[in-house]
Amino acid sequence: MSDPRITSSIFTRGAVDLSALRTPAPTPAPAQSGPPAGAPGGAVASAVTVVDVTEATFQAEVLERSLSTPVVVDFWAEWCEPCKQLSPVLERLAVEGGGAWVLARVDVDANPRLAQMFRVQGIPMVYAVVGGQPVDAFSGVVPEAQLRQWIQAVLKAGGVTVAEPGDPRLDEADDALMSGDLDAAERAYRKILAETPSDAAAEAGLAQVGLARRVAGADPQAALTAAAANADDVDAQLLAADIEVLSGMAEQAYQRLVGLVRRTAGDDREKVRQHLVGLFTIAGPDDPAVAAARRALASALF
């Protein structure tokens, strides 16, 4: 499963012993429509997304429910400041999930025995329970993007097929790019990459920002004409390739630059290679044209 997590070996060693909780439990109270008095956060949740759990209701609300729906257990306390950062995000994501998983909130002060059974040494502490058993966990506050990935892994472990949720951070960055606010778009993409390194969509977006800046103010036809008249003018060829990519002729742009790699050496060759790799980033690694161009580039280099 995805990070963040603690090693799953604590489960296989039997460190989390829930057997004492597998006893007939009274009928649980209905799930809260919002956080209880003193609970962190303020997300409004439906009866199938967020529930407050006690030792008396744990079997029904967590163990039995997890046989059909993954349950994420959030151990928190009123005095815990980090909990006030994490819990509202968990609540919002649970509501957003629409019942694909359930958030079970456990106040450690009111339920010390549950915290002891789960070996909770610090809060916030979050466990995923699937099929009646803990399957993964993490402690502390994590970025929302990382939390979304972790929840997706929990859902997969529970056999839940769900559409990958959109990333509002990317939507914001893409909107800035489409509106021409390149500075805002760059800041947004870089922020995503700081939180989620190697995010392919953010890397592609950042490469598009660079492309947009390079072609700003250029006359497309004049640039292509200049490149045709100066086959060994590196800057003219790079600009022509950028324009071709923007015009939907990426394969032609790749071929142009692979040919230029063959005809250049030293710093010029490296400059062209890096530019071409940047254009590959825009399309993404799964693009067949990129795969073919990468093979051609390797042949040109070696």
As annotated, the active-site residues are 80, 83
Within 8 A by CB and 6+ apart from 49, the residues are: 31, 94, 95, 97, 98, 99, 102, 103
Count of C-beta atoms within a 10 Å radius of residue 153: 17
Q: Rounded distance, CA 144 to CA 134, Å?
A: 22
Cα–Cα distance between 300 and 83 in angstroms, integer?
A: 55
User: Among 165, 162, 151, 142, which residue's Cα sits nearest to residue 103?
Assistant: 151
In whole angstroms, how far apart are CA 107 and each of 39, 73, 128, 142? Answer: 8, 10, 16, 20
CB atoms within 10 A of CB 117: 18
- How far, in Å, are 27, 56, 182 from residue 36 at the CA level? 19, 17, 44
DSSP state for residue 65 in the 8-state scheme: G
| Tokens at 110, concatenated | 């009111």
- Count of other CB atoms within 10 angstroms of residue 50: 28
Element (DSSP H or E) covering residue 198: none
Nearest-angstrom CA–CA distance, 81 and 60: 29
N-terminal to C-terminal alpha carbon distance within the chain: 39
